Structure formats: C-alpha cells, structure tokens
Amino acid sequence: MNAPARLDDVTPLEATVLVVPGMHCAGCMGKVERAFAGLPGVHSARVNLTARQVRVEHEAAVREPELMAALADAGFASQPRVEDLSAPPSAVKPLLAPLAVAAFACMNVMLLSVSIWSGADGSTRDLFHWLSAMIGVPAIAYAGRPFFTSAWGALKQRSTNMDVPISIGVTLATGLSLYETATGGHEAWFDGTLMLLLFLLAGRVLDAMMRDRARAGVDALLRQAAPGAMVVSKDGTAQWIAARDLVPGMVMRVAAGERLAADGAIVTGQSRFDRSLLTGESAPVAMLAGDEVHAGTLNLDAPVDVKVTAAGSDTSLAEIARLMEAAGQIRSRYVRIADRASRLYAPAVHTLAALTLAGWLIAGAGLHHSLVIAIAVLIITCPCALGLAVPVAQVVASGALMRAGIMVKDGEALERLANIDRALLDKTGTLTLGRPLPDPASLAALDGDEAAVALALATHSRHPLSRALADALSAAGTRAAELQDVAEEAGRGVSALWQGQAVALRRPDSATGIAAALAIGTRPVRLISFADRIRPDAEQALAELKVLGIEATILSGDNPAAVAEVSRQTGLTAQAGASPADKQSAIARLQAAGYKVLMAGDGLNDGPALAAANASIAPGSASDVGRQAADLVFLGDSLLALPRGVRAARRTMAVVKQNFILAIGYNALAVPLAMAGLVTPLIAAVAMSTSSLIVIANSLRLYGAAR
C-alpha cells in the first residue's frame, strides 16, 4: 500500500531509495510502507521486496536522515542506496552463522540428552542438564538473534509478526529450562529449543537463497555502457575520461569494436552499429554524420567521433534501468501464499497459548505446570512446516529444472508462472536462434573453388558473419584455399590474392537483408545471404503452450518485415518495432484485462518487459541484463523450456498446496493434544520436526518435475 499524499499535486517531488536488509516477508513490506504514513512531506512509499529496497517520494524539505529515522522507529535499519557496480548484499550470508551454531549446538545437546532419555537421574542428570545449558544458552542467544530482533521491532510498533510467538516460545522454554536446571528439576528443554531454531533457520536460508537469485541488479544495465571514452579536445589531443565525468558537448572517439559510454550524435566518420541490446534489431545499422547513437550500442566497423548529448543518468540506457526498477517494484508486491497464510498465525498462536495458560490456572494447576503446557503449545504450533512448505518445494523444483537445462533465479516466480495464461515472445534470440546463419541455397550455388576461397577469406576475419560462414563451410567439408597478401579493412571486408587473382569477401554495395559479397577476379560476384533461423522445436513448443491454455503472441523491437516473416512461419500474431516502453505498456494492458503474462526475451530492450511481466524467461544466449531481469534462464537452443517450465511450476504449486494441507492437518491434530497437557515441550519439538520432515519428503516428489 502507499502512504497517502499530503501535499498539493504541483509540489515538486524528490525520490529517495533506501536499502532495508531486514525485510523478509509481506508483513515487513506493509510495516515499512506504513512507517512513512505519519511523516509530513511524504507522498508515497513503494517497496521492492526482492531487492530489499523502498522508494520514497517526498517534498524537497524532507531529508534522508528523517526517512531513515522513521524506518528505525519501525524496527528496520536502513541505508542510502549507493549507485555503484558492486553486488547487492546477500540475504543468505547473515543467516549462515546462526544456522551453523544452531546445528552444532543441537547435535551436541541431543547427544547429552540421550542419557537423560535413557533414565539417568540424580547427579548424572543434573550434570548433563548443566552441560546442555552451557552449550545451549549461548547458542540460543546467538542463533535466535534474527527472530529476536524482528520480534522486538514489531513489538516496539505495537504489532506482531511470525517471529513474536517464536521468540516468546524460545525465551520461555529457555528460561524454564534454566530454572529446572538450577533447582535440580527433572525436565529441561534445551534440545527441543535448539531443534526449533535449527528448522526455522533452515527454512529461512532456503527462502533467502531463492531471493538472492531473484535480485536483478539495475547496475547490470549500466555495465552495458563503456566505463569511459577517449575524449578529443579542441587542439586534437585525446584523453580517456570515465563515463561518470562525461558531459554534453564533449567529443568521444569511438573505435571499431567499442561500446558507447554516452548518448550522442556522429560528427565525423561513418560505421555500422549493433543496436540489438536497445532495439532488438538483429541486423547492424549503418550510421552517418548527424545520426544519433546511444550508450551501450556497439561500433562494428570504423572509428567515429561522437558529440555527447546525454551522459550518466540521462542516457537511454539509464532510462531503461529506471523502467526496470519501477517494474520490479510493481512485481515484488505479489503476495505469496505463505505470506497470506502467515498473517493469521501470530494472533492465533498467542490466543491459543494464553487460553491454555488461563484454562489450566483456572482448573487449579500450578503456575509451573501451566507454563510448561503453554510453552508446549507455542512450540508445537511453530510454523516450521508452514515456513518450509514453499521454499523446499521451490528448491527441489528448481533443481529438477536445472537438470533439464532451465535455471530458476526466482523461486517465487514458480508461483506466478503456474498461473500464466498469456505469453509474449520476442523474436530475435528467443523465437529465433539470434545468430545469422548462411543460407543453404547461397552455399549450394558456390562451386568448389569459390567455397574454398570464401572459407579462406572468412577465417581471416573476426566479423560475426565471417565466423558463421567459416563454420558452415567447414562443417560441409570444404578445405580452405591458400591466399597471399591477406588484408582486412574495417568496415569493408577482407581482401587477398589467390592464384594471382584479386579476391575479396566484403559488404555488398546493395542487398536486401543481411549478406556478404564474394568477388574472385573477373568472375560474377556471388551474394551469400544470411538469416536468423527459428529455433528447431519452436512449432512443438508453441503447440504445447496452446495445450496448457496459454495464448502466444510475438512482441518484437525488430523491423516489421523480419517480424512478419517469423509471424508467417509460426502462425502467431505479432507487434513489430516495439520500444522497451511499448513492450512494458503492452504487458500492462494485458494485465489490466486480467491476463497473467509470461514474457520471453533476450535483449537489453526486453529488460523492463521481463521485469514487468508476471513471470519471465530468457535464453542463455541473452544479454547480461536479459538474464538478470528474467526469473528463469534456459540453456541450449530448445524453446521447449517454456512449456516445460510452466508444467513444472504447476506441479510445484500443487505440492505446495499439499504441504499446506499437511501442515494444517498436523496442527489440527497436535494442538488439542498440547492444550490438554498430553505433550511436553520436548515431544512438541520432536512433533514439530516430524511435521517438517513430512513436508520435506512430500516436496522431494518434485525431483522429476521437469520431465
């Protein structure tokens, strides 16, 4: 939810992004956003749970320290987001040490408890209780910190969360165990308390692992631009300047093979540019003096001088980064099943424990006995099984998909993917292989000498078309001719001498589509056409999507002619020439109409759409940004990853629902027994652990989910 606006609409607003590492569930999202509701000058607060960030729009008079103080009052530490290229902090690392301590202490205390369970009494029992306390109390204090800190933050705000009953149960069980140990009592529950923390931390680590994979750092977009550029001064000298220091008016000298560090206009020179990251256009585009070029595009052929028109946060690349960030904030507001189920947990457990304590006191039981029973209720209702229901199923399903060549970066996406009923597919690199290959008819038209010369020339060039031609001719068994005086001219091609004749493999003077011209002496010039090919199993993949009830459409930034050809071959409707904002708008329209949208794309221009869709997938050949923005990445050339992923997601959600039924059934059986005083805290911990193991065992059935 957004904090209500308080200022007049014409008031200029600023946006501040704060990193909030302590957020881990939908309840935290609500608390963080509500923390700003009473702060004058704040218009809205929007949380991105996956990135653990909150974006606050506020009046200029509101300063960063005030925003951080509001979060601190709500129990959340925060810090300003730093715009650098470092990786975001891991959500797993802070939990590893508590998990290791809990596991070590639990194993040792369990070993000590074996003798007590076997009937040890007197001084032996007391000794083992004291040894258990010496190991258990420090371990509980350390391993329980994530829960204690979260619970204290909630209580300071006069609210509760799942960590409050956990903390109360752990604290009471530890305190009562210490009392029993100090007074020579027969019972102590350090073992059960440590087991409780161990399973809770294990579930939280699994969930954090999936969230770490989900982080699509916007900084990865900015890495697509060059870190700097050679800037030419008025006296003709050149000096390398970092991208952050470039300003409009400077002139960059961009060599062939370099990416642009800023937006600008060509002032001298001409070359072809690969703009596929920005537009999805598969063919290089020739650019002349006066044409606009953008940060992140690749200069292919010849050096050019470019006058900077926009740098830093004003480039087209930075605008796409902002679109991705905004889309990520919208997507992260999806409330997971586990979060919805957990909202009722804390008040329900508090009520049950309080009623149990009051009931036994009214019935005439002593305070000690009543507390033991109430603690057993708190422990036996611990949400271990509930907390494991989703992350364990996601981890097992993710492993199954990985073995099938599909990497799941965001386990939460499996939940969204299961509900998909509409798919938008990019053309270049998604429906097609994304790499131009020589036309078989063009190769068949070459005689033996022509093929040998073409192979020899192609092997002397680093151009992508030359490499593709060399691979195709080599695979056909062609042997390269012997050449002399080989020379490659940037932007023109490769030339040489063969048997005294001038030969060349160059860019054709005029051709439709992508092509190379082979010239041998006075022979007629041979035109070798290249085309991007549809993935070999695209037809089967699209048919399987249809069986799953998913309607597919092509949404591409490529030129209309190329898109129309792929549309004809696949039978899909298509929209061509779509910019990143157009793609994002198309997804928003479908979502507004009630569709759950899957976006499949591979380029930087697909980043905002991948982030805005309900679920997203990219091929392994995608740009770094495409892979980071997507929830799933499929390796190899098979488009069957799309229907395979959807089927696995639907099976996963079926198992998740079964896990919830098992967890609820366990509580329905165990809670009455605990309230009746038939369960000790130790038995409660064992029962809780057993329910967790049952959930894990059920989730393991997803091992073959990707078949």
Return the bridge partners of 55, or none.
17, 46
Question: Between the ranges 177-191, 237-251, 642-656, where is the mean pLDDT highest?
Answer: 642-656
pLDDT score recorded for residue 684? 75
Q: Which amino acid is at 24?
A: H
420 pLDDT more than 50: yes
Give the relative orientation of helices 560-570 and 538-547 as an angle to the nearest 10 degrees: 70
Distance between CA atoms of 55 and 654, rounded to whole angstroms? 35
- Residue 648 pLDDT class (50, 70, 90 cuts): very high
576-591 pLDDT, tens digit per residue, is: 988 888 999 999 999 9
Instruction: Give the pLDDT band of residue 83 (cuts 50, 70, 90).
Output: low
Distance spanning both ends of the chain, measured CA to CA: 40
| Cα(662)–Cα(393) distance, integer angstroms | 13
Whole-number pLDDT of residue 99 = 94
The domain locations on the chain are: 13-80, 92-215, 226-314, 434-533
> In the prediction, which pLDDT does 606 show?
80
The percent of residues above 90 in pLDDT, for the chain, comes to 21
Mind listing the pLDDT tens digit for each residue in 42-81? 988 887 765 678 888 888 888 888 898 888 888 788 888 7
User: Could you report the per-residue pLDDT of 130-140, keeping only the tens digit for each?
Assistant: 999 999 999 99
- Sequence-distant (6+) residues with CB within 8 A of 403 are 706
**Nearest of 327, 299, 325 to residue 313 by alpha carbon:** 325
Question: Is the model's pLDDT at 9 over the cut of 80?
Answer: no
Position 161 pLDDT exceeds 60: yes
Beta bridge partners of 271: 287
Label residue 592 exposed, middle or buried (CB < 10 Å: 0-12, 13-18, 19+): exposed
54 versus 386: the higher-pLDDT residue is: 54
Q: Is the pLDDT of residue 507 over 50?
A: yes
**pLDDT tier, 592 (very low <50, low <70, confident <90, very high otherwise):** very high
Pairing of strands 632-634, 501-506: unpaired
Round to whole Å and give the CA distance between 81 and 56: 12
pLDDT of residue 277: 63
Percent of the chain residues past pLDDT 70, beyond the cut:
84
How confident is the model over 600-607, as a mean pLDDT?
76
pLDDT for position 344: 66
587: enclosing H helix or E strand: helix 580-592
pLDDT at residue number 651: 94
Residue 332's pLDDT is what? 44
pLDDT at 221: 55
Task: Determine the topology of domain 13-80 in CATH.
Answer: Alpha-Beta Plaits (3.30.70)
User: Per DSSP, what are the bridge partners of residue 504?
Assistant: 495, 519
Max CA pair span of the chain: 113
In the prediction, which pLDDT does 353 show? Answer: 82
Pick the catalytic residue: 426, 532, 606, 631?
Answer: 426
User: Residue 28 pLDDT more than 80?
Assistant: no
Q: Are strands 406-408 and 437-438 parallel, antiparallel or unpaired?
A: unpaired
Residue 395 predicted with pLDDT over 70: yes
Residue scoring higher pLDDT (348 or 232)? 232
Predicted confidence at residue 5, as pLDDT, reads 40
The answer on pLDDT for 340 being more than 70 is no
Residue 17, pLDDT score? 84
**Res 573 pLDDT > 80:** yes
Q: How far is it, in rounded angstroms, from Cα 168 to Cα 147?
A: 10
Q: Report the alpha-carbon distance of residue 98 to residue 201 in Å, rounded.
A: 8
Provide Rg for the chain, Cα atoms: 32
> Is residue 114 pLDDT above 60, yes or no?
yes
Say yes or no to pLDDT of 433 above 50. yes
Res 649: pLDDT:
92
The lowest-confidence range among 507-511, 619-623, 642-646, 657-661 is 619-623
Give tens-digit pLDDT for 478-490: 898 999 988 877 6
Cα separation of 505 and 466, whole Å? Answer: 9
Per-residue confidence (pLDDT) for residue 622, from 0 to 100 = 65
**Is the pLDDT assigned to residue 471 strictly greater than 80?**
yes
Give the list of residues 6+ apart from residue 366 with CB closer than 8 angstroms, or none. none
288-302, 331-345, 390-404, range with the lowest pLDDT:
331-345
Is the pLDDT score of 501 beyond 50? yes
Residue 335: predicted pLDDT: 44
Q: Per-residue pLDDT for 88 more than 60?
A: no
Which CATH number does 226-314 carry? 2.70.150.10
393 alpha-carbon distance from chain centroid: 18
- Confidence band, pLDDT 50/70/90 cuts, at residue 19: confident
| Residue 417: predicted pLDDT | 92
Given a contact cutoff of 8 angstroms between Cβ atoms, the answer to whether 2 and 45 are in contact is: yes
Which among 87-91, 414-418, 630-634 has the top mean pLDDT? 414-418
* 582 catalytic residue (yes or no): no
335-339, 443-447, 512-516, 700-704: least confidently modelled range:
335-339
pLDDT of 174 strictly over 70: yes
Tell me the per-residue pLDDT of 270-326, one tens digit each, with 9 for 90 and over: 888 887 666 555 567 778 888 889 888 888 878 899 999 988 877 877 766 665 555
Q: Which residue has the higher pLDDT, 82 or 688?
A: 688
Average pLDDT, the chain: 81
Q: What is the pLDDT of residue 159?
A: 72
pTM, 2 dp: 0.61
Per-residue pLDDT band for 491 (boundaries 50, 70, 90) equals low
* Tens-place pLDDT, residues 209-265: 755 654 544 555 556 667 888 898 888 888 888 888 889 999 999 988 888 989 999
Q: Does domain 434-533 have CATH number 1.10.3720.10?
A: no
Measure the CA–CA gap between 213 and 628, rounded to whole angstroms. 9
As a dihedral over the C-alpha atoms of residue 535, residue 540, residue 541, residue 544, rounded to 10 degrees, the angle is 170
- Please give the average per-residue pLDDT across 95-105, as a whole number: 94
- Does 365 score more than 90 pLDDT? no
How much is the pLDDT for 325? 59
